[in-house]
Homo-oligomer: A and B are copies of this chain.
Amino acid sequence: MAQSSTVVQGDAQDIVDCDLAHEIEFLAVKAAANGTRRANQMLAPLGLKVRHYAVLSLACSSISPSQRMLADFLDLDPSQVVALVDELESRGLVRRVVDKKDRRTKVIRGTSRGEELCEKAAALTREAEEISLGPLSEAQREALRQILRSLVFGASEA
């Protein structure tokens, strides 16, 4: 794309060619921020944010995560997990179950209402992802998913 003789003062057109706009770190932050913003406003009608959905999703999965596991996996401070679980529990979406093998740890389980809401939230999240990933082909999305997984979790194969 030859810009030729356009004498336009630095517009948003050529800012995407600067060094910064080629750094993966910068691009990842921007993409993640866009996706989170979109997902948040998509989940708003359910009174949830992506954070709540993350906890709810794990609570409703076959995994029985302790709050410590949630903090580690979601990169949250334990106190933040307390607040999140408090909120979800007060809405009757999850409950704390003390582990019989270690009475210090509390396992978070989704209730039936929690699972019901989780499914709706998952649908909305998929919809948000569908919009956010609009300009990407299906092959690109799968490649992105795989690269991100090996980046986040280390070596992983399909």
Contact = CB atoms under 8 A, between A and B. Distances in A.
Contacts of A61: 18-20
Given A35-B29, A144-B147, A153-B21, A65 B10 contact: yes
Interface residues of A, number: 65
Q: Is the interface of A mostly helix, strand, loop or mixed?
A: helix
Contacts of A62: 7, 10, 18
Copies of the chain in the assembly: 2
15 contacts: A14-B63, A18-B61, A19-B61, A20-B58, A24-B129, A24-B148, A25-B32, A25-B125, A27-B151, A28-B32, A31-B148, A33-B75, A135-B154, A144-B147, A147-B147
List the 6 closest pairs (A to B, CB-CB), nearest first: A10-B63, A135-B154, A27-B148, A32-B32, A28-B32, A135-B155
